[in-house]
Structure 1
């Protein structure tokens, strides 16, 4: 085995030496080099991890920019992305835009859930952010639902209190009217002439 390794090393060294000599001769000839020779371009394919990092940075920048969009701009962006939700990056963009309105939170959660369930490399790279947004949207939906319920209960209680107040005011008016009638009757009674006193019987009549 050691002999074979030494032979292989010697062969590699020979090939390297021949290549070096060839390069030196080509450099020495200068303009005599073959005109059709083209430089070799080595194209390195981006790794899924690097592509995921680029997508994550892009979606974070999109999230920041979306906070300053006007209502009309948000609507245009939503319309442009609605037909491209099969792409995880566009689906996440649309979920971010839908998260601006409470009425669209349920649909945004559906898109985020689809990204979280996907096993495509692009979706996997975006899943941490998708889960974070999903937790935030779910908490917002829960709080806003509770707020609506409390507001509804408060309005109902206010309505009941208003109705009770109206009933109390009506009872007070009735009591006041009755008191007025009693006062009027008392005034009439005071204005009537007094009755004559009964006659005192005589003693002689008593026998």
Structure 2
């Protein structure tokens, strides 16, 4: 989310700089070029996008996808897709910009400079995003390992408690048997002794 926000800030700053350059280029001494006009057009469109809610931006992306294929629409669609948090959308935005760069036509050349800058930033952003995703995946892996080890520890503690309970039960049973045995011994001691002769069968 932070990386996506930084991309939006860069796009805004980049287009604003292009707009400032356009204003300077409107000095009567320097005629406005097609590149200046293209930059001014993209700046105005970017400002419109900033005011659009997410659902409206999605509809705008669909509209541009169905619009006639030309460099202007491709640049606008790339700006919409670049604002998405989806890596797929951002990859598509980069492909659109690269297609504009490869287009030698007069209608594409005014967008080449801006397309090149946006491609560079998108490439950097996607690389940083991949690093972040790898870090998150590694963190998730570590968290799963910790959770698994914690579960094993909980199972071991539970098993140990169960064994202690069984041991305590055996101790109680042994104590009970010992008491009974001592009682039997006491009863045996209280009985009168039988004559030895009677026991051996001897005659008087």
TM bin (shorter chain): 0.5 to 0.7
Deviation at 1:180, TM superposition (A): 2.2
Helix, strand or coil for the counterpart of 1:91?
Answer: helix
Identify the residue that residue 78 of structure 2 maps to in structure 1.
95
Identify the residue that residue 140 of structure 1 maps to in structure 2.
125
Answer with 1 or 2: which has the greater Rg.
1
Deviation string, structure 1 residues 57-90 (Cα, Å, up to 9, x no partner): 1112212221221123212322332244632112
Deviation string, structure 1 residues 127-176 (Cα, Å, up to 9, x no partner): 11111111222222222233233323322332232222122111111111
Give ranges in structure 1 of 5+ residues lacking alignment. Answer: 1-47, 197-207
Give distance in 2, aligned partners of 1:79 and 1:178.
Answer: 65
RMSD over aligned CA atoms reads 2.4
* In the alignment, structure 1 residue 74 sits paired with structure 2 residue 64: no
Give ranges in structure 2 of 5+ residues lacking alignment. Answer: 1-30, 187-204
Number of equivalent positions: 149
* In the alignment, structure 1 residue 56 sits paired with structure 2 residue 71: no
Q: Which moved more, 1:116-125 or 1:98-107?
A: 116-125
Give distance in 1, aligned partners of 2:129 and 2:107.
Answer: 32
Q: TM-score, normalised by structure 1?
A: 0.62
* In the alignment, structure 1 residue 165 sits paired with structure 2 residue 150: yes
Give distance in 1, aligned partners of 2:105 and 2:32.
Answer: 12
Give distance in 2, aligned partners of 1:105 and 1:78.
Answer: 12
Write out aligned runs for 1:1-207 (5 A).
50-84=33-67, 86-101=69-84, 102=86, 103-191=88-176, 192-193=178-179, 194=182
Contact 1:62 1:93 in 2 (8 A): yes
Q: TM-score, normalised by structure 2?
A: 0.63
Q: Which structure ranks higher in relative contact order (CA pairs < 8 Å, sequence separation ≥ 6)? A: 2
